Amino acid sequence: IESHLNPFNTQYIFYPLGFSFGEHGGLNALFSVPLQYIFGLVGTYNVLWLCSFPLAAFGMFLLSRHLTGSSIGSFVAGFVFGFSPFHFGHGMGHLDIASLQWIPFYVLYFIKGAESNGKRNIFTAALFFSLATLESWYQGFYLLIFSLLLVIFMSMLPGNRYRDSPVKLAAVLGISSVLTSPFLIPTIIYSLQNPETFRPVAELIQNSPSLADFFHPGWMNPIFRRCCWPLLAFAHGEAAVFTGYT
């Protein structure tokens, strides 16, 4: 900023192609600026990562309690989501993907918006959708798929309670497009100008978890890690997809 350059692009790494911060956790980059003056780079990373755990757990607690009415069951749901192996695994190097705390808040307020006629919940849902998307484009893409499936499910329910859910989803996506466009447009331009952003299929297959990874605690579990080693094709964040205890 002091040099009057684009703060979301730099050529100090991956020269001469440069690097787009909007492609990898642009929101965290903004959050980190004031924190770096207090905690430094390493401390700021740890603060952002550690804060994502209680926020994610609290968001899932609220979502589950809204759907089930059970505080005890919602506590378990929040714990499982907030402290999942996936969360721990990606926190070791993928802060953008590990910052999944906005996802349950978006789902909660979209469901509330679909259940009521007020606009406040829809605007709040759009805000959280934008926050999740700006944390990681993966999250925005997956939330889009999830939202479309959720709207289809709502449309199949008896009665007319959710009949306006497609329109409300369109409103959420429209508002989110405006909010994320300052990051989205430069990222699209960067991707089109740099062919290395399109990864080969072989690399995608290599870094994809196996079917077994969804059913065992994983390589980070302090108790069962040795039992899981024979089942692992590789040991890094992409393989941490178990949904049970940590």
User: What is the separation, in whole angstroms, between the first and last Cα of the chain?
Assistant: 41
Comparison of pLDDT for 23 and 192, the residue scoring more: 192
State yes or no: pLDDT of 8 exceeds 70: no
pLDDT, mean of residues 44-48: 90
Question: Which pLDDT score is estimated for 142?
Answer: 92
Residue 61 has pLDDT above 90, yes or no: yes
How far is residue 237's CA from residue 44's CA, in Å, rounded to a whole number?
21
Please, which residues have CB within 8 angstroms of residue 50's CB and are 6 or more apart in sequence? none
Residue 33, pLDDT score: 84
In this structure, the strands spanning 19-20 and 9-10 are: antiparallel
Average pLDDT over residues 178-192: 81
Report the percent of the chain where pLDDT is more than 90: 37
Q: In the numeric block, which tokens belong to residue 52?
A: 């994502």
**How far, in Å, are 65, 146, 165, 171, 172 from residue 114 at the CA level?**
17, 15, 5, 11, 11
What is the chain's mean pLDDT, rounded? 82
Instruction: Answer yes or no: is pLDDT of 25 > 60.
Output: no
> What is the amino acid identity at position 45?
Y
Task: Indicate if the pLDDT at residue 23 is higher than 70.
Answer: no
Res. 145 pLDDT band, cuts 50 70 90: very high
Most confident of 22-36, 92-106, 141-155: 141-155
